[in-house]
Amino acid sequence: MSSLTIDRISKSFGSVQALKGVSFDAKNGEFVVIVGPSGAGKSTTLNCIAGVEYPEMGTILIDDQDVTLMQPQDRDVAMVFENYALYPQMKVRDNLAFPLRSPKYRVGEDEISKRIERVSGLLGIDVLLDRLPRQLSQGQRQRVSLGRALVRDPKVYLFDEPISHLDAKLRNAMRRELKRIRASLSQTTIYVTHDYLEALSLADRVVVLFKGEVLQFDQKEKVYNLPAAMEVGQLFGDPPMMFFDGKLDENDNFMSNDKAFSISKSGIYGDVPVGTEIVLGLRPTDVNLVSEGQGQVKGEVYSVQNQFDHQLITIKANDSMFDVVAAQDVSLSEGDKAWVSIPNEVCYYFNKETHKVIGSK
């Protein structure tokens, strides 16, 4: 077991600065997920930890040893890629054994059998050991590829979007399986994904990366409940967070720029000058449909989308569109009048210029 410290690393590719002073750490046995949209610098960060790339500035420590410029094979980390790249001519068993027979990490054949048994049982591929990769389904190949990393006993596991190319159904199933597997892994793990559900499900702590910068590094519950920036709010949630431009008046009331609605007593008075442009962030799961004349927003139903056990109702008020998650038995259709209530405690306020959260949240 090992700890990992990433301290202000930067990396450029030509004129593009991929990483701008990225810092975070993982404690002994901790599972840290790096999440962000494509182009955020997630894979570059992981590659720097693996030693496939070298940062121009900053340091990387594994167990307090500076590994920043060390060769990949000397770092004792194991990487799982999105692309499974199994050896097609080798049976599953030999694919799994391969890293353990390499000169660097060689262990005895008895130990190899033991580890293959443990890992294949864990991944539910113990009945496939004598098959060739082409005889496996996509999900099974994915498991073998995971297994090939898990048979090793490295200081740090690195996962680079291991399940993101699977279709939604299989990806969700694999995520739940990884969650179970996670419980029996004790190694420190860094896991990269663009899917916030993987981050929330698997992580102890989450690094939100955006354009080469860390926007938030926190416990996963905090990242979801107290997003530090608009981009974090937008990334974590489905349906995504809605944003409304507006201003604060001297009585601490937020008024949307299109005059569609206002929120009284926002609670952020004093944190920003009166009249500053601010952005209100709301999650569709946090606002409610209410009866006629109630709530802050009056609008017209723009569209209704079914979502299995609930509905997503979009309501248009002036230029503002409100997505509201409603129960299946709510009966509204396009063109109906609707009223929306916005509880004060679900309002997130952001600085329009910096996108950072305003106030003590």
Which residues sit at the interface with other proteins, rule CB under 8 A? Answer: 168-169, 172-173, 175-176, 179-180, 182-183, 196-197, 200-201, 220-221, 224, 234, 236-240, 283, 285, 302-309, 312, 314, 321, 323, 328, 333-335
Nearest distance from residue 340's CB to other proteins, in Å? 15
CA distance 214 to 9: 11
- Helix (H) / strand (E) element for 305: namely strand 297-307
Nearest distance, CB of residue 243 and other proteins, angstroms? 12
**Of 101 and 165, which CB lies nearer to other proteins in the complex structure?**
165
Give the sign of the dihedral formed by CA 39, CA 42, CA 47, CA 53.
positive
Comparison of 236 and 348: residue with beta carbon closer to other proteins: 236
Closest to other proteins by CB, 71 or 333: 333
* Distance, CA of 243 to CA of 256 (rounded, Å): 10
CB of 237 to other proteins, least distance (A): 6
Gap between the Cα atoms of 204 and 31, Å rounded: 5
Q: Give whichever of 108 and 335 is closer to other proteins, judged by the CB atom.
A: 335
Query: Which residues lie below 8 Å from residue 306, measured CB to CB, with a gap of 6+?
Result: none
Alpha helical stretches, state H, the chain: 42-50, 92-101, 109-123, 138-150, 168-182, 196-202, 220-225, 230-235
Structure tokens at 293: 């004349």
Tokens at residue 316, please? 């248009």
**CA 242 vs CA 49, 215, 232, 233: distances in Å:** 35, 19, 12, 9
- Our CB check for other proteins shows the closer of 155 and 171 to be 171
As measured in angstroms, the least distance from the Cβ of 191 to other proteins is 14
CB of 180 to other proteins, least distance (A): 5
Q: Which is nearer to other proteins, 69 or 346 (CB)?
A: 346
Min dist CB 185 to other proteins, Å, is 13
